[in-house]
């Protein structure tokens, strides 16, 4: 049984604080259950700001202004949506680096409803220049993404979600992994979408690329492996988020694109993550249905 991605993030963050005097962790109550020990050991560099998400982001930026490497964490919804102007101005406009870690994703908390779901986080972050956007699909990738991001000096967003693939791949920002080579269409599976994609296209002659870092978008690999000029994006957040990247990659190639992901409309249903995955057509059967229709068109 593999580790829990969120617990893995927390344990990795704690280790990084422990090992590196220049690393600071800022959080807003959420995930506090994981941070008690490291906060007690390093109260100057592990800071709980309370339920104050605007402050959360700008405290991270302020720490960065003094040369520290901040890890800033809460649920993705409160981090990116509530604190968006703070991200834009605190990090981009001040031109400082930091590692933002949002948990929960599009459907980890289905009982909690819309307030705790953030299908738009990658699209929002993508409206700002220069962010490396990590979409780990395995707890081991969460750990590697965290270590890589914290060791750097740029701006990183790490999207930590519960859904996981069977296998972990190395984290190499700017590079997608070629998981399967076929003659036909190319399917780009982002984060935890890899397993349902592989299960969906098992008998189809398609290429599968895997992205555990979705920005920068690996246009070079997409062009290099392209068979028939047909691309399917499968993203565990707002459908179409990476469509522009595919279009930019293939600007000189007449192509067709199918963009699968979380629907734009509010579901207004509770249930389980599995229910939501099916509702968004992101289970293997749903992906298979959409891909077959697309390829038959």
Partner 1 sequence: MLFRMTTAEALVAADRWPEYTYADLGRLMSSMTGDEKHSTAATSTLDVIWVLYDSVLDVSPETVDHPARDRFLLSKGHGPMAYYATLAAKGFFPVTWLADWASYDSPLGHHPDRTLVPGVEISSGSLGHGLPLAVGTALGLRAQGIDSRVVVLVGDAELDEGSNHEAIELAAALDLGALTVVAIDNRSSSYAVPGRIEERFATEGWHAVGVDGRDHAQLRLALSRPQPESATGKPSAVVAYVEEKA
Which of helix, strand or coil describes residue 168? coil
Side-chain half-sphere exposure of 108, counting CA atoms within 13 A: 19
> Cβ closer to partner 1: 17 or 287?
17
CA atoms of 194 and 284, how far apart (whole Å): 10
Residue span binding partner 1 (CB under 8 A) among the ranges 58-66, 115-123, 225-233, 241-249: 58-66
Q: Does 45 bind partner 1 (CB under 8 A)?
A: yes
The footprint of partner 1 on residues 17-36 (CB under 8 A) is 24, 26
Residue from 55, 162, 178, 257 touching partner 1 (CB under 8 A): that is 55
Residue from 61, 80, 125, 231 touching partner 1 (CB under 8 A): that is 61
CA atoms of 227 and 211, how far apart (whole Å): 18
> Cβ closer to partner 1: 74 or 163?
74
**Residue 116, both tokens:** 């705790």
User: What strands, in cross-sheet order, belong to the sheet with 98-103?
Assistant: 46-48, 23-27, 69-75, 98-103, 155-160, 131-134, 213-215
Min separation Cβ 92 and partner 1, Å: 10
Which of helix, strand or coil describes residue 56? helix
Min separation Cβ 91 and partner 1, Å: 11
Is 263 in contact with 280 (CB distance < 8 Å)?
Answer: yes
CA atoms of 171 and 175, how far apart (whole Å): 8
Min separation Cβ 181 and partner 1, Å: 45
Residue span binding partner 1 (CB under 8 A) among the ranges 55-63, 116-124, 157-165, 226-234: 55-63
The footprint of partner 1 on residues 186-245 (CB under 8 A) is none
Residue from 11, 13, 38, 49 touching partner 1 (CB under 8 A): that is 49
Residue from 8, 12, 31, 58 touching partner 1 (CB under 8 A): that is 58
The footprint of partner 1 on residues 75-104 (CB under 8 A) is 85-86, 89-90, 93-95
CA atoms of 226 and 246, how far apart (whole Å): 11
CB atoms within 10 A of CB 35: 19
Burial of 153 (0-12, 13-18, 19+ CB in 10 A): exposed
> Cβ closer to partner 1: 76 or 83?
83
CA atoms of 247 and 240, how far apart (whole Å): 11
- Tell me which residues touch partner 1 (CB under 8 A): 24, 26, 44-45, 47, 49-50, 52, 54-55, 58-68, 70, 85-86, 89-90, 93-95
């Amino acid at each position: 049984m593999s580790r829990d991605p969120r617990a893995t993030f927390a344990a990795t963050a704690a280790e990084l604080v422990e090992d590196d005097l220049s690393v600071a962790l800022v959080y807003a109550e959420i995930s506090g259950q994981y941070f008690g020990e490291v906060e007690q050991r390093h109260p100057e560099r592990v800071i709980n700001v309370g339920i104050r998400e605007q402050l959360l982001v700008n405290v991270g930026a302020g720490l960065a202004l003094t040369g520290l490497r901040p890890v800033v964490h809460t649920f993705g919804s409160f981090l990116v949506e509530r604190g968006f102007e703070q991200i834009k101005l605190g990090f981009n406009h001040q031109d400082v680096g930091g590692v933002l870690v949002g948990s929960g994703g599009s459907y980890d908390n289905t009982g909690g409803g819309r307030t705790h779901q953030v299908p738009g986080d990658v699209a929002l972050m993508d409206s700002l220049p220069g962010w490396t956007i990590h979409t780990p699909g395995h707890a081991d990738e969460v750990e590697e993404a965290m270590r890589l991001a914290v060791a750097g000096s740029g701006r990183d967003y790490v999207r930590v979600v519960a859904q996981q693939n069977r296998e972990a791949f190395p984290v190499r920002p700017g590079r997608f992994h070629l998981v399967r080579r076929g003659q036909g269409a190319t399917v780009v599976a982002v984060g935890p979408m890899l397993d349902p994609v592989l299960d969906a296209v098992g008998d189809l002659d398609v290429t599968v690329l895997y992205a555990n870092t979705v920005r920068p978008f690996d246009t070079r690999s997409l062009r290099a492996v392209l068979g028939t000029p047909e691309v399917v994006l499968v993203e565990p957040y707002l459908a179409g988020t990476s469509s522009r990247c595919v279009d930019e990659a293939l600007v000189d190639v007449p192509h067709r694109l199918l963009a699968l992901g979380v629907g734009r409309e509010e579901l207004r249903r509770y249930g389980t993550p599995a229910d939501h995955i099916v509702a968004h057509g992101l289970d293997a059967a749903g992906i298979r249905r959409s891909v077959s229709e697309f390829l038959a068109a």
